[in-house]
Amino acid sequence: MKRLLILSFVLTAFVAYADSFDDFKKAQTGGFESRKEEWSTYKSDTLNNFEVYKDIMDKEFAKYKNDISKVWDDVVVSDNYKWVEYLNGYKIRKIVDFDKRTITVEVVSDKAKPDFTPVVKDLLNEDSATAFRRDPVTSNTEQKLKEQVQGVTTDKVRAEPIMQNLYSDKSMTDSQVNNLAKQLVSGADYSQKPSDKTGQTVYSMTVKLPDDIYKKGADEVKPHVLTYAKQFNLDPALVMSVIYTESRFNPMAKSYVPAYGLMQIVPQSAGLDATEFLEGTQRVLAPSYLYNPENNVKIGAAYFYLLYYKYFKGVTNDTSRLYCSIAAYNTGAGNVAYAFNKNGGKNKYNVSAALPAINAMSPDAVYNHLKNNLRYEEARNYIVRVNGKIKDYTE
């Protein structure tokens, strides 16, 4: 009952116009779908583009890991919660963990314990444009996409602060940054260990991030969330909960699926569906486009709109439909259908085939069924986490 009360706040924002996607799509495409041969060729070209996309990233990622392994005994890379950066020929490693709320700086050296202050100061001064440029996988993938994939959609990565806004509401002077860096270094925990790879020493410092980083992260993205939640008839608390669960408000969030940014947009799925909805044609979204916070929230909100109002419009209970849409944002509509339709043969991934089972259940039963029967543990945990976090962002 408590869960249903929480979700009642969310569902008030969902306006019943499930067929508007079809109307919008017809208006935008201008009869494009009637040109069957052209459409078939276009779809084939799009799939080929993503094969190129994935091949580029796989090769860049493999090279990146190989370069790291020449210096480090362990290979640590960025993910949706961690922003990891290597400098000085990979001998310096900076890890900002937005989930554990820690900063770790490690240095491989054959000398005495280094002064960490310049590295921490550099971290505090770094902006998203610099971070993008310093990331060899993402920046090289971006460049090769421009060269090899026609019509890829890019954007300029804006020079927005990554760390300073977690410590101050205003832009910091050089003196203030320097003092903060010294403060963090003096209050850090230190350790050292031998490096099997180089025979040198790995010096490490770890310091906690401020306790209120999620509030500050939410404040940063709130204007975009309010804009696109309104445009796509979603509750802002739901969108915020998805962002928190996907990235912990890490502006450099990345998974090597690939998925990028605050709402972890996968260009090959959410990116294609959302751009077709918004523009009437599917577009390949480059990393630079998805590292723009506004773009990311727009695409993520549009994709959630499609899940709720289009793909699961046959689910008659609004709360049950919301549960299905939350799960599908993580694992895909087909895997949600599979949870209700495991014995459906060739139709087991078909949403329409799963509707009778879903509609025969109460919302609580749908929630529990998803929590226990989704194919992947990540998806089973995801629906619990997003659903449980909505109340924290409900105003």
Q: Are 232 and 301 in contact (CB under 8 A)?
A: yes
The 10s digit of each residue's pLDDT in 349-373 is: 999 999 999 999 999 999 999 999 9
Q: How far apart are CA 395 and CA 129, in angstroms?
A: 33
The pLDDT score that the predictor gives to residue 342 is 80
The topology under which CATH files domain 2-56+214-393 is Lysozyme (1.10.530)
Residue ranges for the chain with pLDDT beneath 70: 1-44
CA 325 to each of CA 298, 317, 370: distance values in angstroms, whole numbers, following the listed order: 17, 12, 11
The pLDDT score that the predictor gives to residue 55 is 94
Ranges of each domain in the chain: 2-56+214-393, 58-210
The pLDDT score that the predictor gives to residue 5 is 41
Instruction: Report the residue count for the chain.
Output: 395
DSSP string, 220-251: HHHHHHHHHHHHTT--HHHHHHHHHHHHTT-T
Residues sharing a CB contact under 8 Å with residue 27, sequence separation 6 or more, in sequence order: none
The pLDDT score that the predictor gives to residue 2 is 43
Q: What's the pTM?
A: 0.89
